[in-house]
Copies of this chain bind each other. A is one copy, B any other.
Amino acid sequence: MNEFLVRQSNRLPATPEGKELRQRLQPLERQRAQELRDAGILVRLWRVPGTRDSIGLYQAADATALHEALASLPMFPWMEISVEALATHPQEQRPG
């Protein structure tokens, strides 16, 4: 299983249309995020303080599966996302 650190910057504009879109999409986004949690793909999610951006710890078979999960989020078209592959640290490798 691969672990990834994912930064998501929310580019929805602060216009009346943007605000309306955010309010419409937010519950759908939460719902889809919950599904990804239940599937063990989304592990942890933090807010970058002072922003609408987030940092997430994700797990997936590979980067293609991760991409499909991220692209399934309703707010994906307005997200600027960067993905960083994480390797297991020697201190956390189970012996044998």
Known interface pairs A33-B91, A78-B14; A4-B47 also in contact (CB < 8 Å): no
Interface code A1-32, partner B: CB below 8 Å = 1, 0 otherwise?
11111101001001000010000000000100
Which of A45, A50, A82, A83: most chain B Cβ within 10 A? A50
Contact of A45 among B8, B49, B77, B89 (CB under 8 A): B89
A39 at the interface (CB under 8 A from B): no
Taking a contact as CB atoms under 8 Å apart, the answer to whether B44 and A67 are in contact is no
Q: Does B90 lie within 8 Å of A63, measured CB to CB? A: no
| A residues apposed to B, CB below 8 Å | 1-6, 8, 11, 14, 19, 30, 33-34, 44-51, 54-55, 57, 62-64, 66-67, 70-71, 77-92
